[in-house]
């Protein structure tokens, strides 16, 4: 399962600019209409300015005026034996730009994966409903 998606993520991973960590991350967001948005991590000599693959993809999706509910899933591949786990900042942006029940598919370099949801990886989510 998810063989094609894994292959596509491996292609996107080649776009990663990660000369400092050498940790290449790829993200593909798939919409319910089949359209895809990609992201890869883009690092910087000023380490704090490194951009995560997930946020690179989500920002492009938002600029294309995609609505939260139009997303089928967000997938992410990391360069590790461990299945990649999105950082806390990316999870918070997922809570804003995706839906709490949007599927999140996380891969390791061998193609093993875990599926969860935005709320599954960010329980007790802080959202606009609290404001």
**Residue 84 found at the interface with ligand THU (CB under 6 A):** yes
Stretch that binds ligand THU, among 67-75, 79-87, 92-100, 122-130 (CB under 6 A): 79-87
Q: Is 49 a catalytic residue?
A: no
Binders of ligand THU in range 106-125 (CB under 6 A): none
Taking CA 58 as the corner, what is the angle to CA 53 and CA 123, rounded to the nearest 5 degrees? Answer: 90
In angstroms, how far is the first alpha carbon of the chain from the final one? Answer: 40
Helix 88-97 × helix 53-63 angle, to 10°: 20
What is the widest separation between alpha-carbon atoms in the chain? 42
Stretch that binds ligand THU, among 51-59, 67-75, 93-101, 118-126 (CB under 6 A): 51-59
In sequence order, the 6+-apart residues with CB closer than 8 A to the CB of 31 are 37, 66, 70, 71, 72
**Residue 25 found at the interface with ligand THU (CB under 6 A):** yes
**Residue 83 found at the interface with ligand THU (CB under 6 A):** no
**Catalytic residue numbers?**
54
Q: What residue ranges bind ligand THU (CB under 6 A)?
A: 18, 21, 23, 25, 41, 43, 50, 52-54, 76, 84, 86-87, 90
């Amino acid at each position: 399962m998810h063989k094609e998606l894994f292959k596509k993520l491996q292609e996107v991973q080649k776009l990663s600019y990660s000369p400092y960590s050498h940790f290449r991350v790829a993200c593909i967001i798939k919409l319910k209409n089949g359209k895809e948005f990609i992201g890869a991590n883009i690092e910087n000599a000023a380490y704090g300015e490194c951009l995560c693959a997930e946020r690179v993809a989500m920002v492009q999706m938002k600029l294309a005026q995609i609505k939260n509910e139009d997303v089928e899933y967000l997938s992410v591949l990391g360069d590790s034996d461990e299945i990649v786990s999105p950082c806390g900042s990316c999870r918070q942006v997922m809570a804003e730009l995706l839906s709490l029940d949007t599927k999140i598919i996380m891969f390791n370099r061998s193609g093993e994966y875990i599926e969860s949801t935005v709320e599954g990886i960010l329980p007790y989510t802080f959202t606009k409903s609290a404001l």
